[in-house]
Amino acid sequence: MINLMLMPCTIDDRTPAPGADELAAGLLAESAWISPKFLYNDLGSKLFEAICELPEYYPTRTEAAIFASHGGAMARASGRGATLIDMGAGNCAKAAALFPLLQPSQYVAVDISADFVRDAVHGLQQRYPHIAMQALGLDFSSELALPASVGAQQRLFFYPGSSIGNFTPDEALAFLQRIHRACGDDGAILIGIDLEKDHAILDAAYDDALGVTGAFNLNILRHANTLLGADFDVRQWRHEGFYNPSLARVEMHLTARSNLTVRWPGGSRRFSEGERIHTENSYKYRQASALDLLRRAGFGQAQVWTDPEQWFAVIYARAGAPA
């Protein structure tokens, strides 16, 4: 049986859309920014699926190869019958590929794009009717409050795809501490972390030749128009994605092609030609620093699996007493 718990998809005209205040605050900041969580409306989620098929975008296929090679060892480490909580589940494909090995008793798909994850879980339930499934439309970037319907025993938080890199190091620590608190005494985490590598590989991965990543980034402006009532014209902006070696992160920006003004109810901002809106970071880790981050969040007994080039790591770690 599928249990769907979703954020409202329609809003009263008198009530600001969820995220509207955050969007306005970011656009009015000295250096304008939009949180990367707003990349993932329905269209954004579909565009990200397309990005994962691009030859330049190595994380998906590299991580998939690690799961294919070492999935059995991961299942032995975690044990079968867990409550598998898929953070940022998207189309649920990564978790579903592990079902035969992990054999979860319950699968909980969590994603900010409520309609998208609902549809994905509905399709998945047809293939695995023996697994209890639940879709949660939640923004877990600042808090993590799971309903009582989520099993409390043997929770395994699944956070693949290097999404932890979207947080600053301090934010990543706070996020992992929230997961640790939600794990209970017998919980654990299985997380994908992108590792530092040649800068040219990183630049290509976030600015592909077909321009799919550019379309994904520009779509955040359409989402802002919907949530904030803004009047962004995506034709007036261009995508930029590049590695910043001083901060060990890839950055994505949208750059104004000319002088322009963006308006929304109760506010506006003038952008000069070349001025940017910062939309995403993707921090890259060394293996030792990734393990230290998990340790500081309270996780221990870590096991690490990587690809032969050591471009990517999948780490399993148990919840223990906070460090």
pLDDT digits (tens, 9 = 90+) for 213-229: 999 999 999 999 999 99
The backbone region for 147, taken as left when phi is positive above 0, alpha when psi lies in -120 to 50, beta otherwise, is: beta
Please give the model's pTM, rounded to 2 decimal places: 0.86
Which residues make Cβ contacts (< 8 Å) with residue 161, sequence separation at least 6?
A: 59, 60, 63, 88, 94, 192
Whether 110 has a pLDDT exceeding 80, the answer reads yes
Which amino acid does the sequence have at 152? A
Whether 13 has a pLDDT exceeding 70, the answer reads no
Confirm if 99 and 158 have CB atoms less than 8 A apart: no
Whether 4 has a pLDDT exceeding 50, the answer reads no
Confirm if 163 and 176 have CB atoms less than 8 A apart: no
pLDDT value for 135? 93
Half-sphere exposure of residue 75: CA atoms within 13 angstroms, side-chain side: 17
Sorted by where each starts, the structural domains of the chain and their CATH numbers stand as 34-323 (3.40.50.150)
pLDDT per position as a tens digit, 68-98? 999 999 999 999 999 999 999 989 999 999 9
Whether 260 has a pLDDT exceeding 70, the answer reads yes
Confirm if 20 and 228 have CB atoms less than 8 A apart: yes
Over range 154-175, report the average pLDDT. 94
The mean-pLDDT minimum among 85-94, 139-148, 263-272 falls in 139-148
